[in-house]
Amino acid sequence: MKAYSTQNIRNVVLLGSTKSGKTTLSEAMLFEGKVIDRRGTVEAKNTVSDNSEIEQINQRSIYATPLYAEFMDTKFNIIDTPGADDFVGGAVSAFKVCDTGVLLINAQQGVEVGTEIFARYAEQYGIPLIVAINQLDGEKASWENTLDSMKEAFGKKPVLIQYPVNPGPSFDGFIDVLKMKYYHFKDDNGTREDLEIPAQYKDEAEELRSALIERAAEYDDTLMEKFFEAGELTEDEIRKGIGIGCKAGEVLPVFCLSAKKDIGVKRLMEFTIKVASSPADRKAVTKDGKEIECKQDAPTTLFIYKTAVESHLGEVAYFKVMSGELTEGQDLENPETGDKERISTIYAVAGKKKEKVSDLYAGDIGCTVKLRAAKTNTTLAQPGCDIAYEHIKFPASKFRTAIKSKEQKDEEKMGEALSKISAEDPTIIVEYSKELKQTILKGQGEQHINIVRWRLQNENRIEIELFPPKISYRETITKVAVANYRHKKQSGGAGQFGEVHLLICPIVEGVEATNRFKIDGKETVLNIKSKESFDLEWGGKLEFYNCIVGGAIDARFMPAILKGIMEKMNEGPLTGSLARDIRVYVFDGKMHPVDSNEISFVLAARNAFKEAFRNAGPKIMEPIYSLEVMTPSEYMGACMSDLQNRRALIEGMGSDKGFDVIKARVPLAELYKYSTALSSLTSGSATFTMEFADYQPVPSDVQDKLLKAYAEQDTDE
């Protein structure tokens, strides 16, 4: 393969809901680009894109697959992405390295929630979109219904470049109002005839062309002026205007497809070459906010957007050349760490097929092997070139579960396997929680986690268990309490003695600390000698006041008292959860000239704090998450009812492009498998986002259940 210049490269990401036909389209594009001479099918499990065992079992894309095709002296780099929101990480990675998106809509379904989701992501990442209405040969294909759903979802953005002739099982062509031609297809292999528009379609074609010209003129003053003067624009001028609107995110050019029959694929590729952005049209952002142009005559830099482990090759790093020219054997370095890497081999990629090339120019996508340390989100650059590109920001997790191996001996092996899976898919997050004493596995949904389970069991031969994770509760207090404790132990020789008197009160935001309290019924003013404030790792604060007077406790024992209190903060008196937001005043105590030591005061402080805590109106606090649910209006009632059953506080409702939106605050304890429940409630048509908000006290009935469960657990142990 020859090296393509930046202007002759198009990086395209295929987007759309599950079953919209992205993999079938990619197969047709590879066929038109002469990469393959026979098109496979998802059903026959022989496509270039869905080439892993798990994808073939499920008959759908699970991983984002890089591909390429050579067409009209242009290199198409294509990334075929999964259609399920559970696997959105692949699309997010692709947005980092692609310049244009092709959004597929199933003509039998119209705009689906998945269509909306990926359109939103594209808008967020500034990716211009071309719309391809696919499966116009389907039994239930409806051009009119699809257009209606597009209008509802995208307003006036869709602009028809084509419209179909005979949509449905007999679909065999379309009218192209840009070319003003009728494209008729004689077989299922893309063999087309370029014909004059039949008389019965002429009026509609003229009307749609006029609308196309008007939209094209909107985005360029020169074109607008010519349109007003002549009432007409040339084909190139229309393309120019539509291209400007498309890149601005104001226009969605609409094409007709049957990817299965290779109808319309070639025209889509032709239009993309002439109208879509080349890599030179887009600037990349560095970590320090600078914008870097994608130019060949610049220092070599590349960005690794994906890593994978492949049989016979080992670890493969997929990258985009962000600037300059990459040559085989070139030495680069990671500007963030200084690590040196040699690019020993360069490949152009079409699924499992890797074609060795000697060099790639700015804007091109390829892969390499045998890098020592470079992973996803790594920049490699010429030595001395201080450029590090902004990292890909992946969406927050929506599903969490605890995981352990069924056999204790497999725990270490499981940990290593999970680390590799997470490196390949950064939306899989693995954490060991010291607080919960559990390994927590996070992902985008239950399907996502089930793929991890399958890989562990089938690729690594590890049997695992998944179960609800514990909740990171917090303990705090609501009122003032005083306690004292004497630790005394005598066992021959030097003994242990320490006595601590302390007062605790809650830290309430906006309420200043005081030194005036009622102790044993008497108004007391504490003499504060020193104060230490700690922002706790787990959130909240501890404030520690030394109020000892008259030398009742030597200053050298104060760190031991603080240590004892902190130990009990790490294991709260109610349920063993972490404690937070407490002020502690140590105001009296006793010591022994011989028997007092650090351990004595650690134990005295622990027990005094524990007793005071139990008398200070103790409260268990739970993590609360902000939830935003987007659902079709017919499921609004079911979603609301379900949220209320989950102790949700509804904060607001609204609508967004035809979907109802619910904003709520929900306890994390009520969100286990929520993604699965929501999908079941709405037939897979709703989606949601969630993020941590704060901690709030649990209701009294929930607190009673938690205390009872902890007491039973304590008894069992």
pLDDT band at residue 253 under the 50/70/90 scheme? very high
The predicted model gives 512-535 an average pLDDT of 92
Q: What is the CATH number of domain 403-467?
A: 3.30.70.870
Tell me: the pLDDT tens digits for 38-64?
999 999 999 999 999 999 999 999 999
Report whether pLDDT(715) > 60: no
The predicted model gives 130-146 an average pLDDT of 97
Q: What does the alpha-carbon distance between residue 553 and residue 601 come to, in Å, rounded to a whole number?
A: 10
Report whether pLDDT(645) > 50: yes
Tell me: the pLDDT tens digits for 192-244?
999 999 999 999 999 999 999 999 999 999 999 998 988 899 999 999 999 99
Strand partners, 523: 518
Looking at residue 717, what is its pLDDT?
45
Q: Counting beta carbons within 10 angstroms of the beta carbon of residue 567, is it exposed (0 to 12), middle (13 to 18) or buried (19 or more)?
A: middle
Are 244 and 253 in contact by the 8 Å Cβ rule? The answer is: no
For every residue of 319-367, DSSP letters joined together read EEEEESEEETTEEEE-TTT--EEEE--EEEEETTEEEEESEEETT-EEE
CATH (one of 3.40.366.10, 3.40.50.970, 3.30.230.10, 1.20.1250.20) for 475-617: 3.30.230.10
Give the mean pLDDT of the chain: 94
Side-chain-side CA neighbours of 328 within 13 Å: the count stands at: 9
**CATH 3.60.21.10 applies to domain 6-200+251-281:** no
CATH (one of 2.40.70.10, 2.40.30.10, 2.120.10.80, 2.60.40.10) for 294-381: 2.40.30.10
Report whether pLDDT(312) > 90: no
Domain boundaries, the chain: 6-200+251-281, 294-381, 403-467, 475-617, 621-702
Strand partners, 75: 9, 70
Report whether pLDDT(713) > 90: no
Q: What does the alpha-carbon distance between residue 485 and residue 573 come to, in Å, rounded to a whole number?
A: 15
How is residue 119 annotated by DSSP?
Answer: H
Report whether pLDDT(310) > 90: no
Looking at residue 714, what is its pLDDT?
59
pLDDT band at residue 252 under the 50/70/90 scheme? very high
Helix (H) or strand (E) holding 67: strand 65-71
Report whether pLDDT(409) > 50: yes
| Residue entry with tokens 């935003």 | 628
Q: What does the alpha-carbon distance between residue 175 and residue 132 come to, in Å, rounded to a whole number?
A: 14
Q: What does the alpha-carbon distance between residue 648 and residue 686 come to, in Å, rounded to a whole number?
A: 18
Looking at residue 716, what is its pLDDT?
53
The predicted model gives 396-409 an average pLDDT of 95
pLDDT band at residue 120 under the 50/70/90 scheme? confident
Helix (H) or strand (E) holding 309: strand 301-310
Question: 403-467 and 621-702: same fold?
Answer: yes
Looking at residue 492, what is its pLDDT?
66
The predicted model gives 432-461 an average pLDDT of 95
The predicted model gives 340-350 an average pLDDT of 96
**What are the angstrom distances between the C-alpha of 511 and each of 307, 506, 508, 514, 540?**
51, 10, 5, 9, 15
The predicted model gives 323-337 an average pLDDT of 96
How is residue 701 annotated by DSSP?
Answer: H
Looking at residue 710, what is its pLDDT?
86
Looking at residue 117, what is its pLDDT?
85
Are 373 and 337 in contact by the 8 Å Cβ rule? The answer is: yes
The angle formed by the CA atoms of residues 48, 458 and 468, to the nearest 5 degrees, is: 115
Per DSSP, the three-state class of 651 is strand
Q: What does the alpha-carbon distance between residue 363 and residue 3 come to, in Å, rounded to a whole number?
A: 11
The predicted model gives 555-580 an average pLDDT of 94
What is the Cα gyration radius of the chain? 32
Q: Do β-strands 365-369 and 378-381 pair in parallel, antiparallel, or remain unpaired?
A: unpaired
Report whether pLDDT(536) > 80: yes
Please give the backbone phi and psi of residue 296, each rounded to the nearest 5 degrees, phi first: -75, -35
The predicted model gives 310-323 an average pLDDT of 92
CATH (one of 3.20.20.10, 3.30.70.240, 3.30.470.20, 3.20.20.450) for 621-702: 3.30.70.240
Report whether pLDDT(397) > 90: yes
Taking the model in full, what pTM does it have? Answer: 0.87
Report whether pLDDT(349) > 60: yes
Are 146 and 105 in contact by the 8 Å Cβ rule? The answer is: yes
Identify the sign of the CA torsion 297, 298, 300, 305. Answer: negative
Q: Do β-strands 100-106 and 129-134 pair in parallel, antiparallel, or remain unpaired?
A: parallel
Quote the longest CA-to-CA distance of the chain. Answer: 113
Closest CA to 249 of 129, 97, 156, 147: 129
- The first and second tokens of residue 688, run together, are 């949601």
